[in-house]
Structure 1
């Protein structure tokens, strides 16, 4: 209690001290910068408490100061406040600090908090520098070790060593793994190599000490532990191990010194508490032993009643009862227990398979049903269920075969209906129509078959037959509001909006709460842009059922169409939370976040959705797109590999996956998807065109030419053929052919994309004037094409036509005053022309997009160029933290730091910039700075 009061007093004192600096009414970026620089000096002197206070003061002055958020996390981590550090790092990421700056310290926090899964899930190496990738792969390897996944740990360590064979970091981590596996000789080899590579690394010496300790070389181990602690006195692992060794050697007084040190430096360390218990036990102090062990132990006992597991009949009865009540999760628990007790209970297996199918858990359903098929080869229910699984997974040929056999044995209308769906999916419209007609004729009350049949008639251009089918369903069962609502939908689909409204009105006259008709009327309102009327309809439903997922989903779509994205996000998020069977609301939410360039939010939703719907192809594709938007190509590729298996031979789906694989820089994965698409449909023009693109990306010219030859033979005049032919010429530097191809494509299909492709070909051919001419002609004919106007301004800028570019940018900015990119580029042009208005344009860009590193760099550099070093430094620090891979930004920051006398920091930044000198223009200021800093 006394200790708690002491902590409370210190916390109150810290709050009081921090409060002394709180002047929110007078908060300024200049004060924030002053606090930050003072905190940085204190951090460098290892005065973490004072650094934390000053950093909090800096953040209070400027909530958006990225450097302060990042340094606060590091200071809190060094001070042992793990939760505080995590919060600070998360806020740094939220504010826009590049993930490469946060990855290692945040990963260290996760590991210290015992959350290796968070490291595996969130700390990714893709897109980062080689040195950082080595550290992250090693960290991930350690996380896999803690999760008991040694093979994955080894893969990460191997990958880290392949990137930098001279790094000791992965070797040190491997020592721990090898010792755990009892492979001491290999561990010794790794430890010795680590010490050789990094003789002043305490972790390397601790690894060597651990090997010697395990080899029973007490003297050698003690010497190595001493060396590690001499290098890093706060090395907790080494000190604990040395204390344990001292206890084994009966040197209790020395061990107690180490444990007392740990009690002060790491009071919550459970291993130290255990060793204190050992020492107390040696003294016979049972009270102290118990107190120490209570610090270590945490126990939970949650074992199900053993007697129920031995009563199969009761378990089966419980499963059937819960299944009947639609409590499928509890039914599954009982069925699992039944099958565990009696693997031969086929009834339990079929019921469990049905539950898996209902839950769309097709992987488990298929495994179980295939085992049932071997045991019961002629069981029509098993055939039907297995056929349904194949149908859901787009394996239409296998589905049809199974469903045909099941239908032949039972003639079930339900099976014929599923057979019809399978045949339609294979493109066999006549057979599918015949199966659905048989199903509907055998059971005219089967609304699902009737609706499917009517929908098919619409697709086949037979609206009269569709309406007749629907009208027959309504006449047969006038009380069936679902059928009546479907009739309204058919009228709407055929263009009869007034007829559709009349039918929906008839439905609601019978049942004012019939939601599908309310939604259909709201959709008609939306189509007519009568948004307020649509809101009134949906509000009326939500007043009665606030958690109706479908209504919330429609509301989200309504607000999106009405141009209110924040409201759309709110409704779609709520719809996704309450929806248990359909991923559509969350898919729409992911798309909206991506459209708004909110990649982190999109990824968070996509991960949750993927876990919720692991066998949903749209969910997996949404996850892959979100990974790509977040710059995580590695996880995107992995996700797409799983999606390829789900898509099977669906040509359109595989083509979509192939495009995403190309975006993830995985042409081999794209190739696999393309050829699966062509197995499903050898004539698919999109897949054939993609085959050309994929082989070109793989660098196989012969295969690309062969694929193009096939495409030309099958679809010589298709737009896809023209486009991919020009793209291939462009990729090979055959600019004349590319220009001719894009020009022909533009004559066939006039759009901005094709015009810009032609422009890029001219630019690549060194024909800047022709590129500008094309754009001028296009803009003249399409004066409202903002994208083309911006491209024209940029082309004029590149061609040195500064006055013309200025005039074009003026028009662009006047037409689109909120276009941050145009404002930023205009600012760059004005800076080159020494126009003082450059600062105003850059400030407007930053205000519109405060999280952009490029815009912050432009403004910071303009300010530095005007002699306003301190204000400019603030923006340049922010830009560098958002985009540390940019050599130009780091040069700009180094230049500003040098101007304020922070030579060592400037040297560090310029060294990093020069490592990527290929992207850094060698100009006079750069040369002068290199000379000044001695680089």
Structure 2
């Protein structure tokens, strides 16, 4: 999320400062400081306000103005103390509360930013800047339920702002994901969990896995609507229109929901998705959780649909890029990231996403070029350093990859992907003893057994034959289990019951 600029508020908030004693020198300094602030020369205003604060101690207006000047000139660490002092002297000081929240947020102290920003929003409900910053703080704390009403109000009050709809849609997606994760943890074999898991697999293009999960959901919940229709969709995509017709007929035969007993299904069918959330509440009943997830997904789709209806923007291209990447259309995704960057040149997050997408598309040279530009501007960025090391490693340049991967782990210790890549790089560079610790730490991220095999080889090269043998046995067991799971997951798409191929 990106908070709105506070610059337009400066002149208004400066006018709220406490009055000074009528001394010519102080009045002149106060006038000079206001002129500097109004002209955007915030750093030049700081020493003037320091002199005024020294001359007139415990003046909450001057302390707030000093904090504002410090924040707006990028000196957030120094801004916090005068802003906190201003609030102690005048708890109702909205400028102090607003800029204290903004400074804490910029310093990465989201938890400390929430209370002062909540105060501003409570006293000034129409203050979009404060509400945007509060929503940003809550999202960074992963408090999506608390952030949602603020994001929704921002979108409704600025319906042509693409960022507002994008942020709201992403919050709904996160709420759906987390609610679904809770259902999987508490009741993974319920028809509701299986149906949602099938929806997720189908959305990622994994039709065989989705088919298997839909079949299991139908066995456990034969009256759950929409499952036969989903299976019919898979059949049609696979070229079996006759099989699809059978499933569509089964869907038609299901009775309409009894709204006295299935209120959530009826509210959902009426398109009242916020009503679903209100009715379902925080219940852990699988059926209620199921409808909450579906409601969040529909609200996300509505929000992102509003985004799509607006003129092209950074956010609309980002959304399109994420969809294409999730569907493994990497070339299209990369083009969307480039379009976003054309509207926001040099944005490090967008550059990182472009590099990731190019890497996924095996365009190693393209990814390397983007990362070189990114690292020139942000040489210590942990993710960019990891990605550069990974790209070099994929081109068999292990020695060149090592410094980038080492820097990535210094900047963000514990990254399992970086640990794995550095372990591989050391091993390929003939530094097996150094590789061992990194490969061992990275094992929880081993998805295909390759890390286990690399670890066995590193043990062997380091002269630890017993550990090499144990690691190799672990690799074989892992590979067999993964193969069995894959075979089960990717079961063939079979015809409906009673239909012969």
TM-score for the superposition, normalised by structure 2: 0.46
Q: Whose relative contact order is higher, 1 or 2, with alpha carbons under 8 Å and at least 6 apart?
A: 2
State which structure, 1 or 2, has the greater radius of gyration over its C-alpha atoms: 1
